[in-house]
Amino acid sequence: MPTPFDKKIAQIYSKGLMIVDELPEYREFFLLLFQKIVQLIEKGGQK
């Protein structure tokens, strides 16, 4: 799952703000990314 390249994300992150609060269109993307991370952890890091 590639992370979107968006200068706005970098600017928001550099200010210490939450990306999903400032750019709600990315909320679903980061939620899905989080869920995939949790699944990998539960499987012990294996795909």
Centre a 10 Å sphere on the Cβ of residue 33 and count the other Cβ atoms it contains: 13
Q: Is residue 26 part of a domain?
A: yes
Residue-level pLDDT at 25: 94
Residue-level pLDDT at 46: 66
Residue-level pLDDT at 3: 77
pTM over 0.75: no
Q: How far apart are CA 44 and CA 9, in angstroms?
A: 30
Residue-level pLDDT at 26: 93
Domain range enclosing 36: 7-42
- How buried is residue 34: exposed, middle or buried, by Cβ count under 10 Å (0-12/13-18/19+)? exposed
Q: Is residue 2 part of a domain?
A: no
Q: How many domains would you assign to the chain?
A: 1
- Write the pLDDT tens digit of every residue in 1-47: 777 789 999 999 999 999 999 999 999 999 999 999 999 999 886 66
Q: Is residue 1 part of a domain?
A: no
